[in-house]
Amino acid sequence: MYLRRGVTLIEILAVIAIIGIILGFSYWGGRTWITRNRLKNAAYRMRATIMDLRIRAVSAQMKTGIRFDPLTDSYTSFKITEDTLNPGTYDTTSQVSETLGTKIRFGATGIQSISGGSPPADGISFNNSSDDNVIIFNQFGACETPGEIYITDGKDFYALLINSTGKVRVFKWTGSGWYEEE
């Protein structure tokens, strides 16, 4: 008896169709996952930068700060020099700038703030009389200008809360309230 060995065209097309369906689902699900995590990663990257700046303030025994710019969706860390002519001036030679990332911006509209009420229009609010977009850590690691930062991708919201001891907490908006993430 004569046996035929090989693969038919229908079998090849069935395998290609199955692979196409699997790739289609993974692309659709993966794209949603990437979009959702882009905002979370920006929040945690900002948290790491703030915590690193606090540690540098303690180790160098000098004041440090971060200036948040809602126009360019970026933030710049710097040292604060104790110049006798201009005390408390920013050391522009030590600046390091970072951006929030693609399609992520400062701000929060249509939600309540962590402390109640509505968040600031630009998404940045620190207890700083001269510039409410600047956070300052002293040489002991305490935050002289505690406050809140809100970022969004247009759909989801994250907030960072920095208290007077320098602790940085990350919150996610759930649609009805804020949930603290670890």
pLDDT average, residue stretch 16-37: 78
Q: What is the pLDDT of residues 28-83, one digit of tens each?
A: 666 677 777 889 999 999 999 999 999 999 998 888 889 898 888 889 888 887 66
- pLDDT value at 84 more than 70: no
Is the model more confident about 13 or about 93?
13
Name the strand (E) or helix (H) holding 129. none
Rounded CA gap, 46 and 48, in Å?
5
Buried b (16+ CB within 10 A) or exposed e, 153-181: beebbbbbbbeeebebbbbebeeeebeee
pLDDT average, residue stretch 141-170: 92
Q: List the chain domain ranges.
A: 9-181
Confidence of residue 17 (pLDDT cuts 50, 70, 90): very high
Is the model more confident about 98 or about 140?
140
Rounded CA gap, 143 and 162, in Å?
8
pLDDT average, residue stretch 161-179: 92
Rounded CA gap, 28 and 132, in Å?
41
Average pLDDT, the chain: 84
* Residue 85, pLDDT score: 56
| pLDDT above 70 as % of the chain | 88
CATH code of the domain made up of 9-181: 3.55.40.10
Q: What is the pLDDT of residues 90-112, one digit of tens each?
A: 665 567 788 888 889 998 888 88
DSSP state of 30: H
